[in-house]
Structure formats: structure tokens, C-alpha cells
Copies of this chain bind each other. A is one copy, B any other.
Amino acid sequence: MPARRDVDVADLINRARHADPRAVARLISFVESDSPLLREVAAGLSGTPAQAHVIGLTGSPGVGKSTTTNALVSALRARGDRVGVLAVDPSSPFSGGALLGDRIRMSEHSSDDGVFIRSMATRGQLGGLAAAVPQALRVLDAAGCDTILVETVGVGQAEIEVASLADTTLLVLAPGLGDGIQAAKAGVVEIADVYVVNKADRGGAEQVTRDLRQVQSMSAGRHVGWKAPILKTSAASGDGIDAVIEAISAHRAWLGSSGELEARRRRRAATEIEAIALGAVRQRFAAVVGSAVLDKAASSVVDGTTDPFEAAEALIRAL
């Protein structure tokens, strides 16, 4: 990474605002990697409220998430949106890899200058993905994206966290994977605003739909006033994608009219602020590891002269 003086952040942000894909890529790599430029980028990107509609896509491997993303990008482009795609792997400390491989397969969009595709992971970013993803969203927002698709891999707590950063969350399922129950277990069903039952041309889609309805009837739902629709697609052929786009638009309209959009974005910002603050504190702790202060405290806990809670309080006071 070049030294601070070699990078003109203001110029990069200006170029990103003019939709220069290389500037966008560079800024996202800064926010992903806890670059010393991160603060400068964040300051430069603030000043205007976010415009883009952020859509989270989640679901187990094998359900056709990338194909669905691909089909959604085509449909959004057809209506004239500028589109950002952020592929996030919460389980990996490295970006690229398998995810990037999937992204490269989105070849029909890779030469479209109205589409920005980035794959990211957390490489020691202060506050982890809870902080890094909102920053990357700001970069894509600055580049004029109308819609940003955030795709995550796996089903788990980290994924739920990332999905909860979206304005609208799509849960993609497919028959034959037992995903209805798997997803319910992980608590993903509760946070979804739209269910997409993909590969609906295969047998078993009805069963997935029934399972979802049952889980839905048992849970109170994410928000009163919006009942998550269950839509069948065959993303590979594009069947059913228009209905998904319509459901997303309807959800967006509901978010705006109900005041929920503002509420969600405030929650997202609160989570982000908390994550950054906690990250900063953790960094200060990390700085004392191996230091005389912690070493002395540890020795006194080992020999029994201090209890660990006393020692922890002393450590907090020392920071």
C-alpha cells in the first residue's frame, strides 16, 4: 500500500463521484483493509445522506444466489438503475477466492460501466464487517448507484449481521437442501423481507413454500405492516425475476411510507458506530498484550494475589 502522501483521497472520491470504476475499487480496498486512509475516506464521503436502495441477499451455498444476483442485475439495468454488487464473505479473512470466482462468471455485466462488482472480506478492519460494509456502501452510493446488492455466503450469525445492514433483505432458498429448516434455525427467516424459492422448476418447491409459510406463521415477523412474500424463480432462465423486482419495489415503497427506512438506517448507523468504537477499544487492549501492565496483572492472577475481575478493572483504568 502506498504511503499516505502518495494518495490524494479527495481526488479519488471526486473520481468515484464521477463513477470511475478504478477509483471505486481503490476506495473499497481502503475501507476493507483498515488502511490509514480509512478515516480520511470516511470523512470525505460524509456530507450527504445515502441515496441507494441496499438489498441484502442471503441463503445457503447451492441455492443459486449468484445466479439470482446476476438475474436481478440484468432486470435492474433494464429499468435503467446504476447497480453496485458487493459480495461479502464474513467467514473469510480474505477477499477474492471462491466468491470472486463466482463474480467473474457474471461476465455479461463485467463490461457494463453501469455495474460495479466488488468482492470483500474483513482484513482486520476496525470493527469488522459491521463497520467495513457500511463504508463500502457509501463508496458505491457516492458513485451514483441506485441499487446495491449485498450478497453474503453461508448461514450464520455473521451473515445475519451483514443482512441486517440492508434496507431490504432477500432470503434465497431451493428445494432439496432442507433449507427451510436450516434457515429457520439460524434465525435468518425472521429477518427476511422477501423469500425467493429458486430452482422452482425442480420438484419440491411447493414443500419449501409450505415450510416457509409455517415458520412465518409461528414467528411474529420482522415488522408489523409488511408480510414477506414467497416468490418462485428459476434464476438461470430469468423466470419469476420480474416479480422479485416488483416485490423489492413494493418493499421500498413501504419502507418509505412507514418511516421504517429511516429507522433501519439509523439502526444500521448505530451498529456501525458501536462496532467502530468497540474495535477501537479492542485495539487499545491489543496494544497492551505482552506489555508490562498486562503481564504483571496476569502473574498476580496466576499466583492468586488478585482475582481476574479486579485485574480487568485495573486494566480498563490503565487504558
Q: For residue A290, which residue of chain B has the nearest CB?
A: B270
Indicate the member of A45, A270, A295, A315 with the most B CB atoms within 10 Å. Answer: A270
Contact B302 A262 (CB under 8 A): yes
Contact A270 B294 (CB under 8 A): yes
Set of chain B residues within 8 Å of A135, measured between Cβ atoms: 308
Contact A308 B269 (CB under 8 A): yes
Contact A272 B46 (CB under 8 A): no
Contact B270 A295 (CB under 8 A): yes
Number of copies: 2
Contact A302 B43 (CB under 8 A): no
Interface window among A5-13, A47-55, A191-199: A47-55
Q: Does A224 contact B (CB under 8 A)?
A: no
Set of chain B residues within 8 Å of A43, measured between Cβ atoms: 307, 309-310
Binary contact readout A196-215 vs B (1 if CB under 8 angstroms, 0 otherwise):
00000000000000000000
Q: A42-B309, A131-B308 are in contact. Are A273 and B302 (CB under 8 A)?
A: no
| In the complex, chain A residues 279-314 whose Cβ is within 8 Å of any chain B Cβ | 280-282, 285, 289, 294-295, 297-299, 301-313
Q: For residue A131, which residue of chain B has the nearest CB?
A: B308
Q: For residue A301, which residue of chain B has the nearest CB?
A: B269
Q: Does A222 contact B (CB under 8 A)?
A: no
Contact B302 A265 (CB under 8 A): yes
Contact B131 A273 (CB under 8 A): no
Cα–Cα distance between A71 and B134 once the two chains are bound (Å): 51
Set of chain B residues within 8 Å of A273, measured between Cβ atoms: 294, 297-298, 301, 308, 311-312, 315
Q: A303-B49, A304-B49 are in contact. Are A270 and B297 (CB under 8 A)?
A: yes
Contact B47 A302 (CB under 8 A): no
Cα–Cα distance between A257 and B272 once the two chains are bound (Å): 48
Cα–Cα distance between A228 and B152 once the two chains are bound (Å): 39
Cα–Cα distance between A267 and B301 once the two chains are bound (Å): 11
Q: Does A177 contact B (CB under 8 A)?
A: no
Q: Does A260 contact B (CB under 8 A)?
A: no
Contact A266 B298 (CB under 8 A): yes
Cα–Cα distance between A121 and B225 once the two chains are bound (Å): 38
Q: Does A39 contact B (CB under 8 A)?
A: yes
Cα–Cα distance between A299 and B269 once the two chains are bound (Å): 8
Cα–Cα distance between A304 and B151 once the two chains are bound (Å): 25
Q: Does A3 contact B (CB under 8 A)?
A: no
Interface residues, chain A, CB within 8 Å of chain B?
38-39, 42-43, 45-50, 127, 131, 134-135, 262, 265-267, 269-270, 272-274, 276-278, 280-282, 285, 289, 294-295, 297-299, 301-313, 315-316
Interface pairs (25), CB distance under 8 Å: A42-B308, A42-B309, A46-B301, A46-B304, A46-B307, A50-B304, A134-B308, A265-B302, A266-B295, A266-B302, A269-B302, A269-B308, A270-B289, A270-B298, A273-B311, A274-B289, A274-B312, A276-B311, A277-B313, A277-B316, A278-B281, A278-B285, A280-B313, A280-B316, A281-B281
